[in-house]
Structure 1
Amino acid sequence: MYNNIIFIGGVHGVGKGTICQKIKEKLDFTHLSASEVLKWDDFKNEKGDKRVENVSTTQQRLIENLKNIVNPQKKYLLDGHFCLLKKDNSIERVPLKVFQQINPLAVIIVKEKSEVIRERLQKRDGRTYNISQIETMQKEEIESAKDLCTHLKIQLFESSTENIHETIVFLQKQQFFTGS
């Protein structure tokens, strides 16, 4: 569907937004957050809960909203998730067909120490998070990203807020956007 999106994924609180902001400062990208594209605030409960009831329905809304946003003349960083936490606390991978429709040119998976993620989430949301759930979620995100990239035959770059410079260099070296 698209040919101008780099997908940046990772668990909540890992630093996707920070990395996207730093990339935007150096390179000509527009940053889109999947939550904003989804208009996620329409779905969250009063506690700010981001658990998902129906992954397929949510992701179809993402695809439909992207159609109204993405300009073929621009380059995008789309930050989102490879897995989502469901209302019953189970983890479900975002279906492959969603990524086939997004058609990312490459994937950047953002990783961080679980303790750092927990601190960020607690600071952001004002509540306590289970470290083992963060570890499990991050492991599943990474495995899902690897499987996705293998299936789509696209590059996977591992990033963190500690190696933003290397992430920028990775993007600069790519031939994704020739002629721009």
Structure 2
Amino acid sequence: MHFSSSNLISQKKKEQFGKSKKIKNINQNQTFLQEAIDEIKYENYFLDGHFCLLNKEGKITKIDEKTFIDLSPKAIIVLTNLTKTIAERLKCRDNISYDIDLLESLQSTEIEYSEYIAKKLEIPYFFYNPMSSTEDELCHFIKQLLD
């Protein structure tokens, strides 16, 4: 099973996120996420989410590490791509143009922070970038988690 953090939060809040990546009440949203996760009855599932978000002022903000401690993931997989590709996809999806430098900084901060969280929680970590990793490597990593 696969769940989107933002969808779970939206369902719990009974409120949809706007297209902007600027998030109000980041910490409060994590409480809604935890409540939604507590209702999931599957032993294994993927949770698609972020380690950093843009706050309402557009500043990169790390999600409180307590959130990850409470979620207690079995592993972390970080999916990355070329910043230009991410910007193009966001433009197509949301019709919003993001500053490339901001996206680069956001992605770098997210990678760095996700590595820190994985070490802190002492869980497996996999960094996936389609330019340097293969889908087979990713599948092998996931298969090892499930064995």
| TM-score above 0.5, yes or no | yes
* Deviation string, structure 1 residues 31-81 (Cα, Å, up to 9, x no partner): 000011111781524xx223112221111110011112x114x31000000
Task: Judge which range, 83-92 or 152-161, deviates more.
Answer: 152-161
Where does residue 37 of structure 1 map in the other structure? 8
- 1:173 deviates by 2.3
Say if 2:51 and 2:114, in contact at 8 Å, map to a contact too: yes
Q: How many residues align?
A: 143
Partner residue of 1:71 out of 28, 31, 41: 41
Identity %: 29
Whole-Å Cα distance in 2 between the matches of residues 128 and 171 of structure 1?
34
Where does residue 141 of structure 1 map in the other structure? 110
- 1:161 deviates by 4.3
Where does residue 173 of structure 1 map in the other structure? 144
Structure 1 moving runs of 4+ over 2 Å: 160-165
- Write the letter of the residue equivalent to 1:126: N
Task: Classify 1:42/1:161 alpha carbon distance in 2 versus 1 (closer, same or farther; 3 Å).
Answer: farther
**3-state SS of 1:89 partner:** coil
* Deviation string, structure 1 residues 92-131 (Cα, Å, up to 9, x no partner): 1111111111111110011111011111111111221110
Give ranges in structure 1 of 5+ residues lacking alignment.
Answer: 1-29
Give ranges in structure 2 of 5+ residues lacking alignment.
Answer: none
Partner residue of 1:117 out of 86, 89, 94: 86
**3-state SS of 1:42 partner:** coil
Whole-Å Cα distance in 2 between the matches of residues 133 and 100 of structure 1?
27
Whole-Å Cα distance in 1 between the matches of residues 41 and 130 of structure 2?
28
Whole-Å Cα distance in 1 between the matches of residues 32 and 100 of structure 2?
30
Where does residue 119 of structure 2 map in the other structure? 150
Computed over aligned residues only, the root mean square deviation of the Cα atoms, in angstroms, reads 1.7
**3-state SS of 1:36 partner:** helix
Whole-Å Cα distance in 2 between the matches of residues 118 and 33 of structure 1?
20
Mapped pair 1:53 → 2:24: yes
- Write the letter of the residue equivalent to 1:62: L
